[in-house]
Amino acid sequence: MGLNKAAVMKVMREVFQRIRFRHDPYSQENPFRILLLTNRDSDNTGDQVIEACDISLIRTVMKNIGIGSLHYEVKSCAAAIITKRYMATRDEALLERPRRLISECDMIIFGGAPLFNYRYQQFYERTALTLELAQEYGKPVIFSAIGVEGYDEDNPKCQRLKKALNLPCVHQITTRDDIDSLMKFKAREDLEIRKVADPAVFAARRFESFDRRKSQNNRRVGIFVIRAHAFIDNGVDFDEHASAMMYVKLGEELLKRGIAYEFLTSGHFGDEAFLDRLIVQYGVSPARCRFGINKPEDLARRISGYDAVVTARLHPSIVSFSYGVPSLGLVWNNKVSYFYESIGYPERIVEVENGGVDVIAMADQLEQIMEEGVKKDPDFLVSVYESLFKGIKGVAMPDCKTKCFDYHKILKVMRPTIGVSEEEADLKLQRKSRRTYSTYNELFDKYEASKKEISRLKQELGEK
């Protein structure tokens, strides 16, 4: 009677796990299940980098606390498990999926995503509803390196979020930026709050297989373009034309100095639309533009090959820092300033305004930071791992006495990614395309409505 090879291999792997992780209380049949909620479906590849680094850090924690790789599962989903349709209809049938995801996990980890955004977005309510379901099912929750949108005592949306964040199911909240505002959300003494590094500081290790750091002497700068009205939408007096001229003039100044450059984005379709406008309306050569950054490894690969980066979006700055590539941050919201302060380079930011940006000064600063390079503080870098270690261990292995890995051990244990699968890459592109189509349809509907209104007004004027 022949033996089933797959069954034999399964038993052998289980035996190996039992020998190596002898205090591991879990098994293949009863694994420890983590539900990871991030902005993984965003076409901004910076958000995808967060997800990839979070997964790698979680896996490292599991090895650190002695749980074998066959004895746990990390299910990664988009943070918006509460759908827009549910928000609009409040149809309880639409909660079937989030209820199933939450009821089947052992703990929930939120990573990145605009989870606290309440001023201009509805994400705060979706976060609150998710937490209420977690409380209903008795599932512990931690928030890892979350961006905080400030605190407003008089804003009912903010207070709705505060109430949910203080439910007993929430064990820990860490932020990468505004710790002072986060502290104001705290209403429970036992709720752990801390400021930590962004998980993307480990991007160079996670995407090591895609490193294209060069040895040649010619200098090259990557200039990341952000959508046309990003500054205006965030209260910064810097309009579309001013933004376009800054990019164009900076490129011209770099060429005068013998520094090569290219324009690119981190994948957001609005950013890419503005990059195309630079070509069509401002005469930028298409040969100097890089489109098609749709996967996290695409972003890592491009950044690792630069000598410096200029960017308004946060995660090109963080990925650059991880690779030791110096960057200048264009300030469009306070999270940019918070990051540069946290890494010890508060001077590496550029405040923009409609009076114009001094591109000569920017080019001078780029040359300076290329000379200075990047220095890293391991204590700062390891902070995001330490908080995950404490949060996961407290739920999965509360009696575990093992010590947290130090920075160098983390790097040794972390495994580089081989990149997303072809199937997942296709899905990412489909999601991006559908968001673009949705935006087009919304604009087309507004255009048609405007035409009808203009026709009606003309008719009224004609009758008068």
The string of pLDDT tens digits covering residues 318-367 is 999 999 999 999 999 889 999 999 999 999 999 987 667 999 999 999 99
Query: In the numeric block, which tokens belong to residue 66?
Result: 């002695």
pLDDT tens for 222-263 read 999 999 999 998 889 999 999 999 999 999 999 999 999 999
> Lowest-pLDDT range, 40-44, 59-63, 377-381, 394-398?
40-44
The full set of domains in the chain, from first to last, is: 22-197+382-415 (3.40.50.2000), 211-372 (3.40.50.2000)
Contact 334, 312 (CB under 8 A): no
Contact 305, 325 (CB under 8 A): no
The count of other CB atoms within 10 Å of the CB of residue 142 is 22
Q: Tell me the percentage of the chain whose pLDDT exceeds 90.
A: 76
Query: In the numeric block, which tokens belong to residue 438?
Result: 């949705």
Average of per-residue pLDDT values in the chain: 92
**Cα gap 80→455, rounded to integer Å:** 40
Q: Which residue type does 17 have?
A: Q
pLDDT at 3 over 70: no
Contact 277, 265 (CB under 8 A): no
**Cα gap 435→66, rounded to integer Å:** 42
pLDDT band per the 50, 70, 90 thresholds, residue 1: very low
The count of other CB atoms within 10 Å of the CB of residue 379 is 11
pLDDT for 359 equals 96
pLDDT for 391 equals 98
Looking at residue 355, the DSSP 8-state letter turns out to be T
Contact 36, 58 (CB under 8 A): yes
Nearest to 173 by CA among 215, 144, 151, 139: 144
Q: Which residue has the higher pLDDT, 150 or 387?
A: 387
Q: Which residue has the higher pLDDT, 117 or 70?
A: 70
Crossing angle (nearest 10°) for helices 296-304 and 45-64: 100
pLDDT for 10 equals 59
pLDDT for 322 equals 98
Query: In the numeric block, which tokens belong to residue 231?
Result: 């500054």
Q: In 179-201, which positions are buried (b, 16+ CB within 10 angstroms) versus exposed (e)?
A: eebbeebeeeeebbbbbbbbbbb
pLDDT for 216 equals 62
Q: Which residue has the higher pLDDT, 301 or 1?
A: 301
- The number of residues in the chain equals 464
pLDDT for 149 equals 86
pLDDT for 423 equals 92
Query: In the numeric block, which tokens belong to residue 353?
Result: 């305004």
**Cα gap 47→296, rounded to integer Å:** 8
- Long-range contacts for 429-437 (Cβ within 8 Å, ≥24 apart)? 429/294, 431/41, 431/43, 432/43, 432/267, 432/269, 432/294, 435/43, 435/269, 436/269
pLDDT (average), residues 259-284: 97
Contact 19, 57 (CB under 8 A): no
CA 415, 416, 419 angle in degrees (round to 5)?
A: 130
Q: Which residue type does 84 have?
A: K
In whole angstroms, how far apart are CA 411 and each of 58, 181, 194, 298, 407? 13, 32, 23, 21, 6
Q: In 322-339, which positions are buried (b, 16+ CB within 10 angstroms) versus exposed (e)?
A: bbebbbbbbbbbbbbebb
**Bridge partner residues of 224 (DSSP):** 264
pLDDT (average), residues 166-194: 96
pLDDT tens for 96-141 read 999 999 999 999 999 976 778 887 678 899 999 999 999 999 999 9
Query: In the numeric block, which tokens belong to residue 266?
Result: 């981190």
pLDDT (average), residues 167-171: 98
**Bridge partner residues of 351 (DSSP):** 331
Q: Which residue type does 212 have?
A: R
